[in-house]
Structure 1
Amino acid sequence: MTRVLAVLFVLLTSVLVLPASPASAHAATVGSTPAPGSVIGASPSEVTVTFSEPVTPVEGRVQVIAPDGERISGKVQGGGTVLRIPLRKASKPLGTYLISFRVISADSHPVGGAITFSVGAPSARPEEPAATTGPHPSVAVAVPLLKTIGYAGVTLIVGPALFLAFLWPPRRSRGGALRMIRIGLALTAAATLGALGSQAQQGSGAPLWTLTADEFLEVVTSQYGLLLLGRLAILGALAVLLPPLLRRPPRTVSVPLTVPVPVLVGAGAPVPRPAPAPKPQPQLTPRKARAWAVLGLGAAGLATWPMTGHAIAVPLPAVTVTAGVVHMAAMATWIGGLVTLTVFLLRGTHERMLGVVLPVWSRWAALAVIWLVMAGVVQSVIQLGSVPALWRTDYGRLLLVKVGVLAVVLVAAAGARRMVNRARNGRGLRRTVLVEVVASVLILGLSSVLVQVDPGRSAAANEKAVGGKGVSETLTSDLYTVQFNIYPVELGEWNTVHAFLYRPDGAPLQAEEWQVSARLLDPPLEAVKQPMAGLLPGNQALGSLTFPLAGTYELVFTIRVSEIDRASVKTTVTVGR
């Protein structure tokens, strides 16, 4: 029965995260050299990409593609927030280049993207490698599922262990609770192995089943992999130390120690009093040493979760890691204790014994919730970054939902506490505790999704993230061919237009006058004409465009190439919100 309930518990929490979207990029691109969408005069020997957080390049997934599709990048030099990519000379250097990258951010999440720049004049954008499009569906499902299984495993270890150590009724069998602890250890180990096996595929975008020995070796020798290997070692040690510590201790029979008193024969001889027994000195018994070892290993094991997630990639990592350990320990104590009560103790235990156990547990649960909330507040303040992020970001909205569910749980817990104080330990109490368990499972699922979503603090960086979002196009008339680039194509007046003019045979053509206009098509607005300034050597011009509203705009270039020869060409661009 215990095995069935444990499996159902894990399956329920797993279902909660199946609809979750894959993890977003947690480090944003904040700059590059050459600048995104820029046009430069000569092919560079090196390009750089700058991120908002330290990153590690994924082997073979950072490259620069020349205008003709040739890969011209050398070995990437990664250090901190900047990637340096050396380039060799392209066979056909004129045109648009693509910087394609896939890296792992400091919080172990993959980041992919692309940036373009042009040499001489823009051209058709080189095809972007498919590997940067995101994680494979098998990875997108497996990662949150593995995290949920890991959280469930920790709760199945901590809750039963605390009850067995301090609150277990003496006449109840301990076998079921010990089996639940073993299940928890196995689930946590399986989730950890799964995380090791899926990390490389998160970075490469490949399916889970294509993992190679070299990729796995690269993961296990990284900081992320070493932390998870440490977690596996701790789980192995706990599997050895915990069961003997939690089995019923053998009864000991105390034998009074008598001290013989010598009797002296003779009148008036004093009778000596026995010497006082020395006070016993506290000793570290093997059982106490085992208990301290379990506590130390448990704290170290819990620390591996925040150290492989969001907490390690913030300005105050020591604070967030500590808060993460407290948050997880309190969560495991509370939810694991509720599961232990529901599965083992609320049925079959005499009401007098429950009257002793439940008040103590009620105080423990209250303390666990207080620490849970305090640690959660610390994490949320640091990870959100601002109050508006609560409703403007996915992270903030999920956090609000989690807080709402927590409020429901606290109401149920308050009802259960009142019943305990009134010594009502019957069916009503079991129903109330069951509500707590179900709502707590939902919180567990939301936590698994939350660690996969961009923290609110990353929203500002992502809003300012740069990318190849400019528009490049070639338009032709009977008099000329014009190539142009607009960057960044967004709402507002800071949209730069850079244009190049050529004869029909491809030779550069000097213009006498340049003009460009933009007209919103739906709803229709009047065209806004903007002059463009000619640049040396004469076939280039620079200007700006204003896009006041989101929608599709008609762009018209009117270029005069002589006193009487003038022609207009047009196209459309779409501006999002």
Structure 2
Amino acid sequence: MTTLPPSVTARRATGPADRPALGPTARRLLSICGALLTALLCALSVGASPASAHAALTATDPADGAVVKTAPSQVRLTFSEGVLLSRDSVRVLDPDGKRVDTGSPAHVGGRSSTAAVALHSGLPDGTFTVAWKVVSEDSHPVAGAFTFSIGAPSKTKAKVPSDAGPDTTVETLYDIGRYAAYGGFAALVGGCVFAGLCRSSRPVQKLTVGGWVTLFSATLLLLLLRGPYTDGKGIGGVFDLGGLGDVLSTKPGAALLSRLLLLGAAAVFLAVLFGSYARRAADADPRRRQDLAFGLAFGGTVVSVGLAATWAMAEHASVGIQSALAMPVDVVHMLAVGVWLGGLGALVATLRAGEPIERAAVRRFSRLAFGSVVALVLTGVYQSWRQVGSWSALTGTDYGRWLLVKIGLVGVLLAIAAVSRRWTARLSDGPAETADETTGETTAQVNEESEEDGESGQDGESGETAAEPADPVRTAQLARQKAAVAKATTLRRRYGDLARGSLYRSVVAEAIVAVVLLAVATVLSGTQPGRAASAGAKASGAIAESTPSVDPISVEIPYDTGPKSGRGKAVFMLDPALPGDNLVHVFLFDRADRPVDAEEVKVSLTLPKKNLGPLPVTLEHLSAGHWSAKSFQLPMGGTWRLSLTVRTSDIDQVTETRNLKIGQ
């Protein structure tokens, strides 16, 4: 067994295969794309949770911070879009933190944008906390809390539960799973189309099967993480089988399960595409091959449309305006992305492996990619209008800004694609082996020489090998040399002519930008659409305008009726301190801040500038040191004079006055 001759090694060292694969400009482009991808992936994994809140709370009954006269029978919440409810979506806690809601929350009047939960009867006075946690119809969780009071605010109130948002670890894994699912879908669909219409090869098969495995694994991960993601539980919630059952009863859970079932059919499709169909490439009966191709085209279309629909039926396209039109448009958009970007990956894999590919096949993919881009642009324009809604939302919302980034990346991708189309036009269908510029020998000749060396080594040592085992060191050395020759052969095929090598470099650049583009698309799918964000802001603004933002008036008034037991302080409260119906509270405390009763407490209000009043307030004694008037009408706003009289005995009383600005 002998080593390869030095002449062969020298030719390999000086041949075009060992020249730099990428020029300085190409390397700089790849470095910039790689840095951009890293930054976007970091943004994807860190993702702020408020941006994922797609349903905004627009109204509550009782209102946030309101003081109601009597205990309500239920609490109602209204959102800017439809929400999905679970058993614990709305929890009402008393001042001690005990739950006072009963039953499961439900939609009101069949409207999915509402949620209501019944309350126990006979609730005491005090401040109650409503903690809510729902899932938007486009699959993203949103949570929050507000308070209201019965009778009068209490000194204590329940704390907002700490599990209001998704667990950080679960959220990060969920975002990674979503990105992997998009990438796997593109590789699966694009690889199948490329193999069926352009060229099927071992590298394309590996890419396509890898896409199937990635999509299946990501979907299974998303299904297991769905419960912890929406409920705010830790990673341990993955093992909660009861939670998994709840997930499967929701629209996002049903979509993920449907995707897994469709991937089962896709596995059969791949087996036929890269098995029976590939073996019949040279079938003597073209009709049989044509029938099989038609069946594959029909079945592949059904499976790919079904897979794309699992996104459309559970995310942005399924909610908002024109959802009946938006979902099929989203399916077309997803398929166009898969055919273009996945096919791009298949072309990169083919060129990288040095597989021979005809110019007609590359041009066929070029036309296919062009059609996909046209569909992508048309559907993207419609989706942008539907999701953004206005020019101001394009720059004033997170969704709009990410959309601008996506549009910019698509522009870069189209520019590189134009370069690739020019190199495609210059491809030739010459032989795979190419001449070495230095020696004039071809790659095939190098391979033949290395094979001859291996054979001569074996023949020359045939006598020795018959008597003793081969030297393992020499065997390993020959294996390394053969691997080097194979690598050189691959590189010569890849860069054997200017057009093929330049096409490979431009397609690699396209693929890198496409990876970044998928990352941005994943971020967009988890960001509240601009139209929904603007609608939520308008709804909140309308509520704020209809309810002036003034705080209830609370005044502390010291009093002293004479004797030692007649010293203390009174707290006067007026809510909402606006013209119209108001709630009045008076609390008396001794010097140790303990509630204390009095023989009589009187309150009146006077508006001197309008010569109005005094208007007496009819107070009802509710409990020790607490008087209240559930309804007191103030005719107008202005600076009113409060007169408070406290009588602690038949002869001991005092009257204190204060000025109150009401409705100003």
* TM-score for the superposition, normalised by structure 2: 0.68
Determine the C-alpha separation between the residues in 1 that align with 2:84 and 2:353. 53
Determine the C-alpha separation between the residues in 2 that align with 1:194 and 1:155. 18
What is the 5 A alignment of 1:243-258? 243-247=271-275, 248-250=278-280, 251-253=282-284
- The alignment partner of 1:44 has SS state of coil
Of the three residues 492, 513, 520, the one matched with 1:439 is 513
Q: Which amino acid aligns with 1:501?
A: V
Distance 1:311 1:498, change over 3 A: farther
Distance 1:472 1:342, change over 3 A: farther
Query: What is the CA distance between 1:513 and its match in structure 2?
Result: 3.8
- Counterpart position of 1:267: none
Residue 69 of structure 1 pairs with residue 93 of structure 2: no
Provide Cα deviations, 1:356-386, integer angstroms capped at 9, x if missing partner: 2222222211111111111111111111122
Q: Is the 8 A contact 2:127 2:157 kept in 1?
A: yes
- Counterpart position of 1:400: 404
Higher percent of residues as helix: 2
Of the three residues 220, 224, 234, the one matched with 1:197 is 224
Q: Which amino acid aligns with 1:46?
A: Q
- The alignment partner of 1:74 has SS state of strand
- Counterpart position of 2:374: 370
Of the three residues 324, 340, 345, the one matched with 1:334 is 340
Q: Which amino acid aligns with 2:74?
A: E
What is the 5 A alignment of 1:66-465? 66-79=94-107, 80-90=112-122, 93-124=124-155, 126-131=157-162, 133-168=164-199, 174-211=201-238, 212-247=240-275, 248-250=278-280, 251-253=282-284, 285=291, 288-345=294-351, 348-350=354-356, 353-423=357-427, 425-463=499-537, 464-465=539-540
Provide Cα deviations, 1:44-72, integer angstroms capped at 9, x if missing partner: 12222122222222222421122343311
Determine the C-alpha separation between the residues in 1 that align with 2:596 and 2:326. 60
- The alignment partner of 1:69 has SS state of coil
- The alignment partner of 2:103 has SS state of coil
Between 179-188 and 446-455, the greater mean CA deviation after superposition: 179-188
Determine the C-alpha separation between the residues in 2 that align with 1:461 and 1:57. 22
Q: Which amino acid aligns with 1:18?
A: S
- Count residues in correspondence: 501
- The alignment partner of 2:117 has SS state of strand
Provide Cα deviations, 1:469-527, integer angstroms capped at 9, x if missing partner: 9967966442421446679xxxxx99x99663322236695433489xxxxxxxxxxxx
Query: What is the CA distance between 1:401 and its match in structure 2?
Result: 1.1
Query: What is the CA distance between 1:226 and its match in structure 2?
Result: 2.0
Determine the C-alpha separation between the residues in 1 that align with 2:614 and 2:211. 68
- Counterpart position of 1:551: none
Distance 1:348 1:482, change over 3 A: same
Provide Cα deviations, 1:266-317, integer angstroms capped at 9, x if missing partner: xxxxxxxxxxxxxx9x999455334312211111111001111111112321
Determine the C-alpha separation between the residues in 2 that align with 1:55 and 1:506. 48
* TM-score for the superposition, normalised by structure 1: 0.77
Structure 1 residue ranges without an equivalent (≥5):
1-7, 256-279, 488-492, 516-530, 547-555, 571-577
Determine the C-alpha separation between the residues in 2 that align with 1:370 and 1:448. 21
Determine the C-alpha separation between the residues in 1 that align with 2:636 and 2:340. 58
Residue 17 of structure 1 pairs with residue 44 of structure 2: yes
Query: What is the CA distance between 1:32 and its match in structure 2?
Result: 2.3
Of the three residues 481, 485, 506, the one matched with 2:571 is 481
Of the three residues 22, 31, 34, the one matched with 2:59 is 31
- The alignment partner of 1:81 has SS state of strand
Q: Is the 8 A contact 1:220 1:226 kept in 2?
A: yes
Larger Rg belongs to:
2
- The alignment partner of 1:58 has SS state of coil
Q: Is the 8 A contact 2:131 2:161 kept in 1?
A: no
Structure 2 residue ranges without an equivalent (≥5):
1-33, 428-497, 560-569, 590-594, 608-612, 621-627, 646-653
Query: What is the CA distance between 1:564 and its match in structure 2?
Result: 5.6
- The alignment partner of 2:102 has SS state of coil
Distance 1:329 1:156, change over 3 A: same
Residue 511 of structure 1 pairs with residue 603 of structure 2: yes
- Counterpart position of 1:501: 586
Between 289-298 and 383-392, the greater mean CA deviation after superposition: 289-298
Distance 1:537 1:370, change over 3 A: farther
Query: What is the CA distance between 1:239 and its match in structure 2?
Result: 0.6
Provide Cα deviations, 1:8-59, integer angstroms capped at 9, x if missing partner: 9xx9785562232235221122222223332221111222212222222222
- The alignment partner of 1:512 has SS state of strand
Determine the C-alpha separation between the residues in 2 that align with 1:533 and 1:144. 62
Determine the C-alpha separation between the residues in 2 that align with 1:385 and 1:449. 19
- The alignment partner of 2:101 has SS state of coil
Q: Which amino acid aligns with 1:82?
A: T
- The alignment partner of 1:398 has SS state of helix
Q: Which amino acid aligns with 1:72?
A: V
Distance 1:416 1:544, change over 3 A: farther
Q: Which amino acid aligns with 1:416?
A: S
Distance 1:254 1:194, change over 3 A: closer
Distance 1:35 1:238, change over 3 A: same
Distance 1:439 1:101, change over 3 A: same
Determine the C-alpha separation between the residues in 2 that align with 1:20 and 1:360. 40
- The alignment partner of 2:63 has SS state of coil
Q: Is the 8 A contact 1:533 1:542 kept in 2?
A: no
What is the RMSD computed on CA atoms of the aligned residues?
3.7
Provide Cα deviations, 1:359-417, integer angstroms capped at 9, x if missing partner: 22222111111111111111111111222111111111111111111111111112222
Q: Is the 8 A contact 2:96 2:158 kept in 1?
A: no
- Counterpart position of 2:644: 561
- Counterpart position of 1:42: 70
Q: Is the 8 A contact 1:30 1:461 kept in 2?
A: no
Query: What is the CA distance between 1:428 and its match in structure 2?
Result: 3.0
Determine the C-alpha separation between the residues in 2 that align with 1:327 and 1:246. 26
Distance 1:429 1:127, change over 3 A: same
- Counterpart position of 1:274: none
Distance 1:133 1:477, change over 3 A: farther
Q: Which amino acid aligns with 2:587?
A: Y
- The alignment partner of 2:326 has SS state of helix
Determine the C-alpha separation between the residues in 2 that align with 1:544 and 1:113. 36
Query: What is the CA distance between 1:128 and its match in structure 2?
Result: 3.6
Determine the C-alpha separation between the residues in 2 that align with 1:284 and 1:431. 35
Q: Is the 8 A contact 2:393 2:534 kept in 1?
A: no
Distance 1:455 1:124, change over 3 A: farther
Distance 1:441 1:514, change over 3 A: farther
Q: Is the 8 A contact 1:192 1:228 kept in 2?
A: yes
Q: Which amino acid aligns with 1:312?
A: S
